Structure 1
Amino acid sequence: MPISLHSAVVPTMLQVLGAGHGWIDKAKAHGLSEEALASGCLIEDMLPFAYQIKSMAHHSKGAIEGLRAGVFGPDMADPPTSYEGLHAKLTEAEEFLRALDPEELDSLVDDPMRFEFKELKVPFTTTDFLLSFSQPNFFFHATTAYGILRAGGVPLGKFDYLGVMRTSQA
């Protein structure tokens, strides 16, 4: 039985977006100030935690909006820098994905679209865009956000990264 594009992408994004709330809460409980949380990074030439959270939302909600529009590009807006703002960014993406009609997403399979940034224009099909560009970027930013907190001493483990898994009831 073939898997739908919606099933291949949306539930796992929701899982990791939900986990992101737990990372933020643990950072707060660990005593990280909002400034330290938002500006934390792994190395000087890498973008900070707040950007990573913003990018998780952009490569989930923003990616679907890009499919609808036929074009996707980076979100150049400043990221939120407060605990509340970071949670809101994740929640906005979660609510969008939960409201997404699976049939709508699946109806877009293999439509043409492109990634654009300045002069760069990369053509994709919607399926290849989600599975080879946005989904890997989503996980890159999630892993980087998690790594920033771990490097900062926040007591996170693998199950914190995974969030609530979809398990069988058997």
Structure 2
Amino acid sequence: MKITIHSIATETFVPMLRSLSNILDKGAEHARSNNSDPAALVNARLAPDMYTLAQQVRLACNHAKDATARVTGKEPPQFEDSEQTLEELKARIAKTIGYVDSVRAAAFEGAEDRKITIPIPENDMEFEMNGLQFLRDWALPHFYFHVVTAYDILRHNGVDIGKRDYLSHVGGYIRQRNSPA
């Protein structure tokens, strides 16, 4: 199988976003079973200077949709950052998955060499890289950071989740070992 920018992006973003949606379900169940306010989870953060769960989910979604758009030479779709509930965050994830899935493989042709620039408004500078560098060194690390931080916030707040929840999509690779003859 040939490795393509399309497969790296789509086959990373979509399964991890589905895992993120599933751990939000576990967060909702945790709140219900403990008679606690789910909004406390939505607004929870790991440290005072870190973003809330809601913002971590939004940023994970933004990195997925923005990277998909940028490497295909398109403008990223704009989503309103107004989610206040776990259900609204799940809807944001679903909308992001829908967008990423809607971009056909052909749109990624030449993406590895496509020039990507990201302005740094504070000092009139910009990042400049090709599509492969952008995906490898910018988009995927940021995406994973925000997904794992959302996971960590839920885990820190007592939600019963583990690595199997975070990496739920790898279960498809589990096979029975061949017994030695």
TM-score by length of structure 1 reads 0.88
Give the one of 24, 29, 33 matched to 2:37.
33
Question: How far is 1:21 from its partner?
Answer: 1.1
Per the alignment, residue 146 of structure 2 pairs with 141
Cα 1:13/1:83, change in 2 over 3 Å: same
Per the alignment, residue 78 of structure 1 pairs with 81
Asked if the contact 1:54/1:79 (under 8 Å) is kept, the reply is no
Asked if the contact 1:70/1:114 (under 8 Å) is kept, the reply is no
Give the one of 91, 103, 108 matched to 2:106.
103
Per the alignment, residue 173 of structure 2 pairs with 167
Instruction: Give the Cα–Cα distance (whole angstroms) in 1 for the partners of residues 102 and 173 of structure 2.
Output: 22
Per the alignment, residue 63 of structure 1 pairs with 67
What amino acid is the match of 2:39? E
Per the alignment, residue 132 of structure 2 pairs with 127
Q: Secondary structure of 2:13's partner?
A: helix
What amino acid is the match of 1:92? K
The answer to whether the aligner puts 1:117 opposite 2:120 as a matched pair is yes
Cα deviation 1:82-119 (Å, max 9, x = unaligned): 12210111001111122221121133221111112313
Cα deviation 1:113-163 (Å, max 9, x = unaligned): 111231341101111111110000000000100000010010001010012
Per the alignment, residue 8 of structure 1 pairs with 8
What amino acid is the match of 1:155? D
Question: How many percent of aligned residue pairs carry the same amino acid?
Answer: 26
Instruction: Give the Cα–Cα distance (whole angstroms) in 2 for the partners of residues 169 and 65 of structure 1.
Output: 35
Instruction: Give the Cα–Cα distance (whole angstroms) in 1 for the partners of residues 7 and 27 of structure 2.
Output: 31
Question: How far is 1:169 from its partner?
Answer: 7.3
Asked if the contact 1:19/1:164 (under 8 Å) is kept, the reply is yes
